[in-house]
């Protein structure tokens, strides 16, 4: 039976977008970070841009592109305008706590479709995006869309490079409540999540499979860099080679620890 390896780091700060010059009050525990840097063959992301707050949605996306979306759910497919161009998204749920779901490089919003519905059933207002430009702007604009719909706090959840982008976008999301990174590379072309995560003071959840060797060192580096976060929860599953969204859909999953993390630090409201 596989066993969970959990490293919990408790610090004392309470906000999420801290100054890079402030000192931390704690240190991560667990296995030492590898000195090897993670690499990826993903296409390069665009440069981070300023936040655009959309006032309306653009044309409805072609539903035939997203086989995960049922006929009854097609009204949940929207196209959200942004400075770099409109992006497709799937929205579900209601409530005051929003969740932005960012897929990994080999997918689109369908990778998080089922989990979006799961979170919506738990009382969250959710938007799963298709981020073709690998842009942090998509995350910040998606969060702004949720605020327009009535949310007052936001959780950013990303798989693989979606996790890196979520971390990089967090300082630009004014109401960010927590950040979740599943198998996220520490660097993704011009994005360095280690630099950004070092500024965050909100709770952070990091997960990686011990057999996903290309990304284990990245997960440990991110954990070590997150010294200002008031809570870092680190899950490394020994011998497990699943990646990113595989932790949400596979068995066993990090769903249990992740659910507890969300209920504790970003409960639906």
What are the chain's domains?
5-21+43-265 (3.40.50.1820)
Output the pLDDT for position 251. 66
- Percentage of residues in the chain having pLDDT higher than 90: 68
CA 258/CA 141 separation, integer angstroms? 24
Residue with tokens 């959710």: 126
Q: Which of 2-6, 39-43, 204-208, 213-217 has the lowest mean pLDDT?
A: 39-43
CA 187/CA 70 separation, integer angstroms? 36
Query: 194 with 221: CB under 8 angstroms?
Result: yes
Reply yes or no on whether the pLDDT at 12 is more than 60.
Answer: no
Q: Where are the beta strands (DSSP E) in the chain?
A: 5-10, 77-80, 87-92, 97-102, 125-129, 153-159, 176-182, 187-188, 191-192, 204-209, 231-237
Tokens representing 151?
């949310």
Reply yes or no on whether the pLDDT at 25 is more than 60.
Answer: no
Average pLDDT, integer, range 220-237 = 96
Measured CA distances, 264 to 67, 110, 178 (Å): 34, 27, 11
| Helix, strand or coil, per DSSP, at residue 107 | coil
Q: Which of 43-47, 113-117, 151-155 has the lowest mean pLDDT?
A: 43-47
Q: What is the pLDDT of residues 59-97, one digit of tens each?
A: 789 999 999 999 999 999 999 999 989 999 999 999 999
Q: Are strands 204-209 and 176-182 parallel, antiparallel or unpaired?
A: parallel
Reply yes or no on whether the pLDDT at 52 is more than 90.
Answer: no
Q: What is the pLDDT of residues 134-182, one digit of tens each?
A: 899 999 999 999 999 999 999 999 999 999 999 999 999 999 999 999 9
Reply yes or no on whether the pLDDT at 184 is more than 90.
Answer: yes
| Helix, strand or coil, per DSSP, at residue 9 | strand
CA 186/CA 224 separation, integer angstroms? 11
Output the pLDDT for position 247. 85
Query: pLDDT band for position 253 (50/70/90)?
Result: confident
Tokens representing 193?
């999540």
């Amino acid at each position: 039976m596989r066993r969970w390896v959990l490293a919990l780091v408790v610090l004392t700060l309470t906000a999420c977008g801290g100054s890079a010059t402030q000192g931390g009050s704690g240190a991560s525990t667990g296995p030492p970070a590898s000195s090897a840097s993670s690499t990826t063959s993903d296409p390069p992301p665009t440069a981070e841009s300023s936040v655009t707050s959309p006032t309306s949605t653009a044309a409805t996306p072609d539903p035939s592109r997203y086989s995960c979306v049922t006929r009854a759910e097609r009204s949940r497919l929207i196209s959200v305008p942004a400075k770099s161009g409109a992006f497709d998204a799937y929205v579900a749920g209601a409530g005051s706590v929003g969740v932005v779901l960012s897929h990994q490089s080999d997918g689109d919003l369908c990778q998080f479709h089922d989990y979006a519905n799961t979170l919506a059933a738990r009382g969250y207002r959710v938007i799963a995006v298709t981020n073709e430009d690998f842009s942090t702007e998509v995350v910040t604009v998606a969060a702004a869309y949720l605020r327009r719909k009535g949310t007052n706090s936001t959780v950013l959840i990303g798989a693989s490079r979606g996790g890196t982008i979520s971390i990089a976008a967090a300082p630009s999301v004014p109401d960010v409540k927590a950040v979740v990174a599943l198998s996220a590379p520490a660097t993704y072309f011009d994005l360095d999540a280690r630099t950004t995560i070092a500024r965050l003071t909100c709770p952070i959840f990091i997960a990686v499979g011990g057999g996903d060797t290309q990304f284990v060192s990245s997960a440990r580096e991110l954990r070590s860099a997150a010294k200002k976060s008031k809570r870092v929860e680190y899950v490394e599953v020994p011998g497990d080679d699943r990646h990113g969204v595989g932790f949400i859909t596979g068995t066993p999953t990090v769903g249990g620890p992740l659910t507890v993390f969300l209920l504790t630090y970003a409960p639906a409201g």
